[in-house]
Amino acid sequence: MTSSEIVALRRALGQLRQCVGGLRARYGDVAAVQRLANDVERMDIDATELVDLDRTPRQREAPRVEREVVVVPDTPYDPEFWHDADDEGLGGYRSHRT
């Protein structure tokens, strides 16, 4: 971010903070006003983090790791696979024994 962008962002956040203060004076400390105040605070924190990122040297990206793809077949399982398994669905315990 350039210094002019930082100044513009800080000015906009200050204006938002004033607007939220006006809303709080008009409507009180209702949930909607609290959320707006929290949003402005979060944006201020995020802006500070961006400024800090510009001040610190950039680290190289971590190397990408190839991930193994596991193919799960869509064919039905052998019924013996579920032998003696509990049914955890609706209706409680039900044995699969025949």
- Report the predicted TM-score, pTM, of the whole model to 2 decimal places: 0.53
For 87, half-sphere exposure in the C-beta direction (CA atoms, 13 angstrom radius) is 9
Whether residue 94 is predicted with pLDDT greater than 90 in this model: the reply is no
Query: What pLDDT is recorded for position 52?
Result: 83
Task: Give CB contacts under 8 A, 24+ apart, made by 41-50.
Answer: 43/13, 43/16, 44/13, 47/6, 47/9, 47/10, 47/13, 50/1
Q: What is the pLDDT of residues 37-91, one digit of tens each?
A: 999 999 999 999 888 877 776 666 677 788 888 888 888 888 887 777 766 665 5
Q: What is the pLDDT of residues 6-27, one digit of tens each?
A: 889 999 999 999 999 999 999 9
How many Å apart are CA 9 and CA 2, to the nearest integer?
A: 11
Look at 75 and 94; give whichever has higher pLDDT: 75
